[in-house]
Amino acid sequence: MAGRRATARGDVNSVNPNELTLAEARDALKAKRLSARELTQAHLDAMAKARALNAYLLETPDRALQMAVVSDEKIASGEAGPLEGIPLGIKDLFCTHGVTTTAGSKILQAFEPHYESAVSANLWRDGAVMLGKLNLDEFAMGSSNETSAFGNVVSPWRRRGSDAPLVPGGSSGGSAAAVAAQLCLGATATDTGGSIRQPAAFTGTVGIKPTYGRCSRWGTVAFASSLDQAGPIARTVRDCAILLGSMSGPDPRDTTCADLAVPDFEAAVSRGVKGLTIGIPREYRVDGMPAEIQKLWDEGAAWLKAAGATLRDISLPHTSYALPAYYIVAPAEASSNLARYDGVRYGLRVPGKDIAGMYENTRAAGFGREVKRRIMIGTYVLSAGYYDAYYVRAQKIRTLIKRDFEAAYADGVDAILTPATPSAAFGIGEKASADPVEMYLNDVFTVTVNMAGLPGIAVPAGLDGQGLPLGLQLIGRPFDEETLFAVAQVIEDSAGRTALPEPWWA
């Protein structure tokens, strides 16, 4: 038995409130079959039993219950917002007013923002309830959640017949694990090179990185500003569409945030794929890809064809250069963004013999190994004599990667289907070798999307031979998340909603 069904169908009153999807819970709240307080309490109880997963860095039960009470009042008085009473987890990269925000780093261990991130503020505006702050790789730099200064997240998934702990993926590992383990109805996440889609694929959840500029970056701790984008992780395509509708929208405080009205993403979910052309890029057929992933990819294509889409083989010739170019661009931007952590204005301070010594000691003690490594690579590629050879060249290659996609879309392709990850989840500590590149290869299928600023969604498509989830990725045109939701829904329907892990932790 691989797992249990995602939700029990039928009478909402007969099921555990955490087993509802976000859409089902929303409808139950609206129909007053369930109160926000009950729903929130059920999640707080589940969180308390699931501390072994280390998904939440901070639980905020008092705030959650206060917000739930207000939601119940609003529902009673007919003033409910679109997410009224829906309990969510917030990745600890989003600044939350008066609630510690660490970015998974020792350097921000005691940081208490006096402002609220645009994305989380949009969710509260729409009535959502905050359950707590979710674990992540330090400053969102990682693909396994093993770089968090506050310990690994343990995936709720295990290989069949094994109790070896697995990674949930990263950097949004806490978000993905909490959603898969039913510790929230949905979670915020961020994606710089794959940090929403890879953990979603590893945990059998749905995650979308919208187009660069769809969500405001204001108040989200910056990693690489030209690549960072917020998005939701949830258990169904519809739930992701609902959450993205609330999270996104124009914001004058982020000059790269697009001044575009937010479409009705939920309405797009049921559009179907009839008449759409789906590109299958040959460059994603990489050497050494497990046969199971290839099979899943072929199956996904067959499902879309059966539902009325046209398949087309396409070429994205610069695909293989995206990951190395990313490891120049992202560290370069990170080295600049993380220069602000100097022990002066906020965060940790470690004294030194002079001010430079204070900076150096503060950053040596406050940053973990992966973060230091990336800051140093970024410093090197931006330093005199290397800037043109590394940084400018990488930005030119980024132009070429984007052109590949533009050519495919100009040729009539509506969306592109690829595997989400080159493997299923791996064990904690399994990729701790001296070569950091081994870990970086996890993002080989997702990073192209960030480099080109496009939207990408990961949707569960099946389980591998060991009973672990595998996901497919769809890549869309700029600001056409609606097509991604429509296509992803067909995959979700065809695959049958992925089972959830057995709750061994509870």
Q: Which of residues 445-464 bind other proteins (CB under 8 A)?
A: 451-453
Residue that has been written with the tokens 């500029």 in this structure: 213
To other proteins, the closest distance from the beta carbon of 317 in angstroms equals 10
Structure tokens at 505: 């932790």
Question: Is residue 390 close enough to count as binding other proteins by CB under 8 A?
Answer: yes
Among 340, 355, 412, 432, interactor with other proteins by CB under 8 A: 355
Question: x/- contact string, 399-418, with other proteins (CB under 8 A)?
Answer: xx-x----------------
Question: Is residue 82 close enough to count as binding other proteins by CB under 8 A?
Answer: no
Question: Is residue 287 close enough to count as binding other proteins by CB under 8 A?
Answer: no
Helix (H, G, I), strand (E, B) or coil at 206: strand
Among 383, 387, 429, 496, interactor with other proteins by CB under 8 A: 383
Residues from 310 through 329 that contact other proteins (CB under 8 A):
318, 320-321, 324-325, 327-328
Helix (H, G, I), strand (E, B) or coil at 319: helix
Which amino acids are annotated catalytic? 91, 171, 195
Structure tokens at 57: 């860095």
* Residue with smaller CB distance to other proteins, 199 or 343: 343
Question: Is residue 212 close enough to count as binding other proteins by CB under 8 A?
Answer: yes
* Residue with smaller CB distance to other proteins, 66 or 361: 361
Helix (H, G, I), strand (E, B) or coil at 9: coil
Question: x/- contact string, 90-119, with other proteins (CB under 8 A)?
Answer: --------------------xxxxxx----
> Over 97-151, what HEC string results?
CCECCCCCCHHHCCCCCCCCCHHHHHHHHCCCEEEEEECCCHHHCCCCCCCCCCC
**3-state helix, strand and coil shares in percent for the chain, rounded to the nearest 5:** 40, 15, 45
Question: x/- contact string, 247-286, with other proteins (CB under 8 A)?
Answer: -----x--xx-xx---------------------------
Question: Is residue 373 close enough to count as binding other proteins by CB under 8 A?
Answer: yes
- Round to whole Å and give the CA distance between 114 and 100: 10
To other proteins, the closest distance from the beta carbon of 327 in angstroms equals 6
* Residue with smaller CB distance to other proteins, 159 or 349: 349
Q: With residue 201 as reference, give the H or E element that holds it.
A: helix 197-203
Q: Are 184 and 178 in contact (CB under 8 A)?
A: yes
Residue that has been written with the tokens 């009470």 in this structure: 69
Question: x/- contact string, 164-203, with other proteins (CB under 8 A)?
Answer: ----------------------------------------
Among 56, 367, 409, 485, interactor with other proteins by CB under 8 A: 367
Q: Are 76 and 30 in contact (CB under 8 A)?
A: no
The torsion angle over the Cα atoms of residues 221, 422, 242 and 275, rounded to 10 degrees, is 130
- Round to whole Å and give the CA distance between 254 and 258: 9
* Residue with smaller CB distance to other proteins, 171 or 211: 211
Helix (H, G, I), strand (E, B) or coil at 89: strand
* Residue with smaller CB distance to other proteins, 55 or 244: 244
Among 358, 407, 499, 506, interactor with other proteins by CB under 8 A: 358
Residue that has been written with the tokens 């299923």 in this structure: 424
Closest-CA residue to 322 (of 454, 196, 231, 217): 454
Residues from 328 through 347 that contact other proteins (CB under 8 A):
328, 335, 339, 342-347
Question: Is residue 13 close enough to count as binding other proteins by CB under 8 A?
Answer: no
Cβ count near 369 (within 10 Å): 10
Among 261, 291, 356, 410, interactor with other proteins by CB under 8 A: 356
Q: Are 95 and 137 in contact (CB under 8 A)?
A: no
Q: Are 457 and 474 in contact (CB under 8 A)?
A: yes
To other proteins, the closest distance from the beta carbon of 428 in angstroms equals 20
